[in-house]
Structure 1
């Protein structure tokens, strides 16, 4: 069906354009992508996913098409790698991509996964966003402390309903922060950097879901997170990683008893704060099979933890 439509559009090039509400771009030559985009009314696209392993320069070339999708509401971009071009050229490609957000006045959901150029440049993108987001997901990326500061101060997060920061690695740690980093079970705790975004979270009055699995966090920071978010009346679900204190060894083996105790402590704090219905789930991959452990509200463990 689609191939027939594309063929007709190609035959009537310049006369017939396809309206396309959802557009998914997977691995294919850029020339083919450009050919297809010429047949599409780009201002009809409301949902765009770019699931390609692209170099930054390729994303920069595609960006000009992105800017024409003026009615875009949801954007997902994944697996963009820094190329070996000169620094000045890299910044030009980044600017060409981020500047397109100036045209996206209706953007509500933004998903960025495995984007190599975000570190130190998040502010450039945030400043180009023209309206507050409802969903922001930054996963498997490097961010600096300055990025977190800009994120916490950005007006684009004031109406967030969903925020995901799974697998985010923090870099450019200050000497002051290094002095307070903890080493628990052989894992470096990035509590100071995570704590930097808590004031921003407390202002996200529309937030309904918050997920930050994949980040090594201590119980003290989880308790601090609860204190900062307890006043968010619409926040109902928090998906958090098992605190570092619940691991048995450096291999990431979970101690179910410790995790159950810490989870019960959080639930007790919720009850005492008058928010017993706020659901907090713990999700962590088993180091042996990769399955996750959930609490709903009792632990749902993988078979590796079951007695033989």
Structure 2
């Protein structure tokens, strides 16, 4: 048994080493060889855990997600239990459900299954590329060969153009998905997809087509949102919600931690609702890029920042038409954000005098480490566009800010800028 395990680990290490070496070849060859590697890897893995019927394999859950922050750990709640409590808990095909049923029937029959179930956890991106299609076809083939013993559990699913991915989606168990991202798709199709999910932690929608925010399609979408009682992250990018943000957020039953609303056409009433919305009072990240914040919007946005001052860590207010007068109203609320770590407010028309004042007032925020600031208006020519930018003036601004940071003993704070 020990020799077999050693052989498996050695062989797996060999294939992984070869795959790392292949990363230095051309992208075309890499695409082909990466698919070939996946085929060899899965074939070897499945053979190793299915050739023996007289003993139970140790490996039950294999996590192939690339995110280093994703970890699947089975706590030793019960040393006599073979169930992994970090496996998929919502799908009828998960080993959590299958082995739970088998343990109940074990007292009635001592017969052991010829092949114990195994769970494969992956992140899948349905982007229409050849590499993606080949990889997904390989996964599908291995699931079919397993005759039901291999459960494919996709935790993070990214879809580009939902209408072109219907066939692939028919082979996925959407009850496993906890992070879902959909781009460039009709809202009707998105709503149908959401109806098959069970426990989403994160939902990201970008460039979703919707004819009317007052029609049945939008109401059905809101109905699906209202049943998401575990949602912590919501991203609605390029999703025109002018005067309708309240309709979306008021139905949420949980407090959001991450809220992305770029290119949403937010109005005064939308910002006013955000300042009064209890579901966003504990935000860690707020992104309202590319939404104009005019003078009349300052007051509700000020109260919004004040409400999240004890939890907010990331704030993005770029391309918001901020001026000296508007941002001067927001500064007192910003200085109260004691947990703020990242601030992006580039591409706003701010003077050098205001920029220096902002730096002086933000240096006491000890958690704030990264700031991407706007290029001051004096660095441009008569017209405020890329071709009129004076690079020497930009360098002078950076030098002045670095000197101020040094005098404030905040060398740990990084202030940078870039032009669009």
Decide whether the 8 Å contact of 1:158 with 1:203 is kept in 2: no
More strand by share: 1
Correspondence 1:1-308 to 2 at 5 A:
1-6=135-140, 18-29=152-163, 32-33=165-166, 36-37=168-169, 39-51=171-183, 53-66=184-197, 68-70=198-200, 72=201, 74-83=202-211, 85=212, 87-89=214-216, 92-93=219-220, 95-96=222-223, 98-100=225-227, 102-105=228-231, 107=232, 109-117=233-241, 119-127=242-250, 128=252, 130-133=254-257, 135-151=258-274, 156=280, 158=282, 160=284, 162-166=285-289, 168-170=290-292, 174=296, 189-191=321-323, 198=331, 201-219=334-352, 221-223=354-356, 225-226=358-359, 229-250=362-383, 252=385, 253-285=388-420
Displacement of 1:268: 4.1
Query: Matches of 2:341 and 2:409 in 1, distance apart?
Result: 17
Question: SS where residue 80 of structure 1 aligns?
Answer: coil
Structure showing greater Rg: 2
| Residue segments in structure 1 that go unaligned for 5+ positions in a row | 178-186, 286-308
Tell me the residue number matched to 2:4.
none
Query: Matches of 2:329 and 2:253 in 1, distance apart?
Result: 22
Instruction: List per-residue Cα deviations over 1:6-52 (Å, max 9, x = no partner).
Output: 4677899999863112211112417x43x65454343432332212x
Query: Matches of 2:270 and 2:393 in 1, distance apart?
Result: 33
Instruction: List per-residue Cα deviations over 1:50-108 (Å, max 9, x = no partner).
Output: 12x23444434433345x234x2x4432112441x4734465256336435x4224x2x
Displacement of 1:158: 4.0
Instruction: List per-residue Cα deviations over 1:165-192 (Å, max 9, x = no partner).
Output: 44x1317864999xxxxxxxxx995335
Query: Matches of 1:229 and 1:175 in 2, distance apart?
Result: 22
- In the alignment of these two chains, the number of paired residues is 262
Residues 194, 251 of structure 1: alpha-carbon distance in 2 compared, 3 angstrom cutoff = closer
Decide whether the 8 Å contact of 2:292 with 2:320 is kept in 1: no
Query: Matches of 1:146 and 1:19 in 2, distance apart?
Result: 41
Decide whether the 8 Å contact of 2:175 with 2:196 is kept in 1: no
Decide whether the 8 Å contact of 2:186 with 2:208 is kept in 1: yes
Query: Matches of 1:176 and 1:251 in 2, distance apart?
Result: 24
Decide whether the 8 Å contact of 2:342 with 2:369 is kept in 1: yes
Residues 64, 265 of structure 1: alpha-carbon distance in 2 compared, 3 angstrom cutoff = farther
Query: Matches of 1:197 and 1:64 in 2, distance apart?
Result: 40
Query: Matches of 1:59 and 1:193 in 2, distance apart?
Result: 37
Q: CA RMSD in A?
A: 4.1
Query: Matches of 1:213 and 1:200 in 2, distance apart?
Result: 18
Displacement of 1:241: 2.5
Residues 137, 201 of structure 1: alpha-carbon distance in 2 compared, 3 angstrom cutoff = farther
Displacement of 1:228: 5.4
Decide whether the 8 Å contact of 1:136 with 1:163 is kept in 2: yes
Residues 146, 111 of structure 1: alpha-carbon distance in 2 compared, 3 angstrom cutoff = same
Residues 234, 114 of structure 1: alpha-carbon distance in 2 compared, 3 angstrom cutoff = same
Report which structure shows greater RCO (CA 8 Å, sep ≥6).
Answer: 1
Decide whether the 8 Å contact of 2:175 with 2:199 is kept in 1: yes
Q: Give me the TM-score of the superposition, normalised by structure 2.
A: 0.50
Segment drifting more, 85-94 vs 135-144: 85-94
Question: SS where residue 139 of structure 1 aligns?
Answer: coil
Q: Give me the TM-score of the superposition, normalised by structure 1.
A: 0.64
Question: SS where residue 242 of structure 1 aligns?
Answer: coil
Tell me the residue number matched to 2:65.
none
More helix by share: 2
